[in-house]
């Protein structure tokens, strides 16, 4: 054992310490940006939030679990997970579901009442100009800047992914959150697709991509995804995909680099 590895030596960097500097890895940059988005947007609309060295997230009081989103900020032992889950349940509405994402493998949380929902791919795209934007020539994509626009965003999301109202998620306070942008796509007078992004850190975080079923297959979802991907064109983009959506993102130049672990609990 070297002297540096002996007693008193500084802890080795593992990429997940609270002291880990920004820019250590793009995965960590995305997690930090996602936590900032969830907590700041939640606080702006009066939702229940959690933010500590283990977890960051929000509960909007929705029955649809994916409107209530928590992300782990580091690898944790079984005992640390039990403590973290107790804190979540103390902060969130009793019995209401939420989605819990971890960028690192987790122990089984089944004994805590959680159901394993999958291992969605984490995908990255380096900065760079896109090809010609897909979608019909009459498609228009605009940033949401009004309560009426938030209402249209939420209804389109419900129509695309039937899950019911999103609780406080689209309250008027969301319009004032820095470095968070929502977009809607309009075609023939109808709002047909949505996208959101958080872009105050070192990545463009791409979120809430949806497209109404009757207009799928026309490049509309890809068009709104490009808008969020290039919110700050000098930055790489990152997202948590689904296996079904992965081919679309790969066509856009996103690369799958790891998988999150997804649990649903209450």
248 pLDDT above the threshold of 60 = yes
pLDDT, average across residues 185-203: 96
1 pLDDT above the threshold of 50 = no
- pLDDT tens digits for range 57-103: 999 999 999 999 999 999 999 999 999 999 999 999 999 999 999 99
| Residue bearing the bigger pLDDT, 219 or 56 | 56
pLDDT of residue 4: 46
pLDDT of residue 7: 61
- pLDDT tens digits for range 108-128: 999 999 999 999 999 999 998
6 pLDDT above the threshold of 70 = no
- pLDDT tens digits for range 208-236: 999 999 999 889 999 999 999 999 999 99
Q: State the DSSP H helix or E strand holding residue 180, giving kind and residue range, or none if neither.
A: strand 180-187
Q: Is the dihedral of CA 94, 95, 98, 103 positive or negative?
A: positive
pLDDT of residue 9: 65
| 191: confidence class by pLDDT, cuts 50, 70, 90 | very high
Helices and strands (H, E) in the chain, number of each type: 5, 13
pLDDT of residue 3: 43
pLDDT of residue 129: 80
198 pLDDT above the threshold of 70 = yes
State the Cα–Cα distance between residues 68 and 58, nearest whole angstrom: 6
Residue ranges of domains in the chain: 26-119, 125-259
For domain 125-259, is the CATH number 3.40.630.30? yes
- pLDDT tens digits for range 128-169: 887 677 778 899 999 999 999 999 999 999 999 888 899 999
Within 6-59, strands assigned E span 48-51, 55-59
For 43, how many CA atoms within 13 A lie in the half-sphere containing its CB?
Answer: 10
* Three-state secondary structure string covering 100-154: EEECCCCCCCHHHCCEEEECCEEEEECCCCCCCCCCCCCCEEEECCCHHHHHHHH
Chain mean pLDDT for the chain: 94
pLDDT, average across residues 42-62: 98
Count of Cβ atoms closer than 10 Å to residue 219 Cβ: 17
């Amino acid at each position: 054992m070297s002297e540096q590895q002996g007693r008193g030596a500084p802890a080795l960097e593992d990429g997940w310490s609270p002291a880990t500097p920004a820019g250590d890895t793009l995965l960590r940059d995305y997690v930090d940006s996602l936590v900032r988005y969830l907590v700041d947007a939640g606080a702006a609309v009066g939702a229940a939030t959690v933010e500590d060295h283990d977890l960051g997230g929000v509960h909007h009081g929705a029955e649809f679990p994916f409107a209530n989103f928590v992300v782990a900020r580091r690898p944790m032992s079984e005992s640390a997970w039990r403590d973290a889950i107790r804190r979540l349940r103390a902060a969130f509405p009793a019995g209401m579901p939420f989605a819990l994402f971890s960028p690192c493998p987790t122990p089984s949380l089944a004994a805590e009442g959680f159901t394993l929902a999958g291992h969605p791919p984490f995908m990255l795209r380096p900065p760079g100009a896109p090809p010609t934007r897909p979608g019909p020539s009459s498609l228009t994509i605009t940033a949401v800047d009004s309560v009426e626009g938030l209402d249209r965003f939420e209804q389109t999301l419900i129509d695309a992914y039937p899950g019911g109202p999103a609780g406080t998620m689209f309250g008027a306070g969301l319009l004032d959150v820095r470095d968070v942008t929502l977009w809607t796509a309009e075609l023939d007078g109808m709002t047909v697709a949505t996208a959101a992004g958080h872009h105050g850190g070192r990545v463009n975080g791409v979120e809430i991509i949806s497209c109404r079923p009757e207009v799928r297959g026309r490049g509309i979802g890809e068009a709104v995804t490009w808008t969020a991907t290039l919110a700050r064109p000098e930055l790489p983009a990152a997202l948590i995909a689904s296996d079904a959506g992965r081919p679309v993102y790969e066509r856009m130049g996103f690369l799958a680099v790891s998988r999150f672990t997804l649990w649903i609990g209450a």
